[in-house]
Structure 1
C-alpha cells in the first residue's frame, strides 16, 4: 500500500493498480463507508457517515501487547523468586558452616550443604602442600591452584575435566564444576597462608558455565575460608 505497483500481480497486465484504486476511493469515499459488510470483514466498525471505529483492530493489538507484557512480567517474577530462594539457602548454608567444630567437620558440612540445600553433586576443600592436610580435605601439589585457575585467576566455572579428583561423587556423575580460590591464614606457631580451593560439583552440564555469575558460591567460599582460619593445621 506504499507504492506497490501491482495489486494483483498474477492477473492480466491491465488489472487495476493500487494507486489508481486509492485515488478513486479518495474521490468516492461513500462507496467504502456505505459498505458496512466490507468494513466489518476487515475489522472496522462504522458509526455514521464519516466516523469509522478502529476498535476491533486496536483491541487486537492491545491484547497482544498485554499478553507480551504479562509473559515478560511472569518471567521476571520467576527469576526474582529463584534468586530470593537461592539467597535464602545461601544464608542458611553459611550458618551451617559457621557451626563447624573442626576442619574435618567443616569439609563434611560443606559437602552436605552443597547436596542438601543446592542440589549439587558435592563440594570439597583442597589445600596445597607442603604442610598438613586435614582429614576430609583434598591435597594439591605446590602450584596446583595456579595451575587450575591461572596465576591471577580467582574463579573458574565450566565443564568438569579428568584428573581433578576432588569430589566424593564419581567422576562420571560430575558434569560441571566451580572452583573458587582461597588463601586461608591458619593460626599456630608457624602461622602462614596457604593457597586453597573451594570446589563445587554439579551433575548437570549447565550447572556451572563461564557466563554464569559466581557471587553465591564465592560467598560460600569466603565463609569456608574465614571459618577454616579458626584452627591450626597439624602435620
Structure 2
C-alpha cells in the first residue's frame, strides 16, 4: 500500500535525469523570468499551446493571443527593415542623380549654356518635371540675365519665400508663374534654394518642381539640394563676374 509520499516519489522519479527538468522546475523558472519567451520567440513555434483555458467565468484564447501578438511584432520588424532599405536606396539614387547633374553643369561653356542645361538636361537627370533658375533685378542690369531660360523674379521674392533659410520644401505647390513660368500648372510640389548674390549678380533661386504633390515636403533632407544650389551659384558668378 502506498501513500501520497510514495506517489510524489514516483512522480519525481518519472521526471528523472533522462527527462531533464521537471514541469515544476520549468514553471518556476518561467515565473521567475516572465520575459523569457518574449526574448526567445522562436521557441513558441515548437510549443503546443492550449487554444483556450478557463479563467473564472470567462474563456481566454491564450494561444491565439500570443501568436497574434508575435505575428504583429514580426510584421512591424519586417516593415521597419523594409522602410530602412527603401530609404537607403532612395537616398543613394538621389545622390547618384545629383552627381550626374553636377557633371553635366561642369560642361557648360558660358552662362547661357548653363541656363539651358539647367532647364533642359537637369529635369530628366533628377527625375523632375522642371528645373529653373531666376534672379531678382540687378543694379546695374546684367544683359546675360535676360535670356528666356532665366526667370525674372520681382524684388523681394527670395526673402518672401525663404526668409532666413537657404532651402525650402513645398508640398501642394501653387505658383503663378514666377518660379516655373508657363509650366507652373504642372508642378505639384517644389524645392527652392537660395542662390546667394555676388559682386554684380543679384540674389536668385534654383527651383526644382515635381508633378507629385508630396514628392517634396517638409521633413525631407535638403543637403543635396543645397549642394546643387552652391554649384549653380559658383558657375553663375564665374560667368557673370569673370573679373571677381
Report the TM range for the smaller structure's normalisation: 0.5 to 0.7
Deviation at 1:173, TM superposition (A): 1.1
Residue equivalent to 2:5: none
For residue 173 of structure 1, the aligned residue among 186, 194, 202 is 186
Residues 48 and 183 (structure 1), Cα distance of their counterparts in 2 relative to 1, 3 Å cut: closer
Maintained 8 Å contact 1:104/1:137: no
Q: Between Structure 1 and Structure 2, how many residues are aligned?
A: 183
Q: Which has the higher helix share?
A: 2
Q: What is the aligned partner in structure 1 of residue 155 from structure 2? A: 142
Q: After TM superposition, where is structure 1 displaced by more than 3 Å over at least 4 residues in a row?
A: 47-54, 56-68
Instruction: State how far apart, in whole Å, the 2-side matches of 1:202 and 1:218 are.
Output: 17
Q: Which deviates more, 94-103 or 209-218? A: 209-218
Of 156, 159, 162, the match for 2:168: 156
In the alignment, the residues of structure 1 paired with residue 201 and residue 180 of structure 2 have an alpha-carbon distance, to the nearest angstrom, of: 23
Q: C-alpha root-mean-square deviation of aligned residues, in Å?
A: 3.1
C-alpha distance in structure 2 between counterparts of 1:65 and 1:143, whole Å: 52
Matched, 1:182 2:195: yes
State the TM-score, normalizing by the size of structure 1: 0.66
TM-score, length basis structure 2: 0.64
Q: Which runs of 5+ in 1 are unaligned?
A: 1-46, 186-190
What is the DSSP-based 3-state SS (H/G/I as helix, E as strand, rest coil) of the residue aligned with 2:229? helix
CA change 1:65–1:94 in 2 (3 A) is same
Q: Deviations over 1:196-225 (max 9, x none)?
A: 111111111102222322222111111111
Over 3 Å counting, the alpha-carbon distance change for 1:207 and 1:214 in structure 2 is: same
- Report SS of the residue matched to 1:229: helix
Specify whether residues 48 and 170 from structure 1 end up closer, same or farther in structure 2 by C-alpha distance, changes over 3 A only: same
Q: Distance in 1 between matches of 2:217 and 2:22?
A: 63
The equivalent residue for 2:123 is 115
CA contact (8 A) 1:127 1:140 kept: yes
| Aligned position for 2:229 | 221
* CA contact 1:175–1:202 (8 Å) conserved in 2: yes
Whole-angstrom distance in 2 between the partners of 1:227 and 1:115: 18
**Whole-angstrom distance in 1 between the partners of 2:117 and 2:48:** 62
Structure 2 unaligned blocks of 5 or more: 1-20, 28-42, 50-62
**Partner Cα distance (2:87, 2:157) in 1:** 36
| 1:50-97 deviation line (CA, Å, top 9, x unaligned) | 578962459946666444433322221121111111111111111111
Following TM superposition, by how much is the alpha carbon of 1:49 offset from its aligned partner in structure 2, in angstroms?
Answer: 7.0
Which of 209, 215, 240 is the aligned partner of 1:232?
Answer: 240
Give yes or no for contact 2:134–2:153 (8 Å, CA) kept in 1. yes
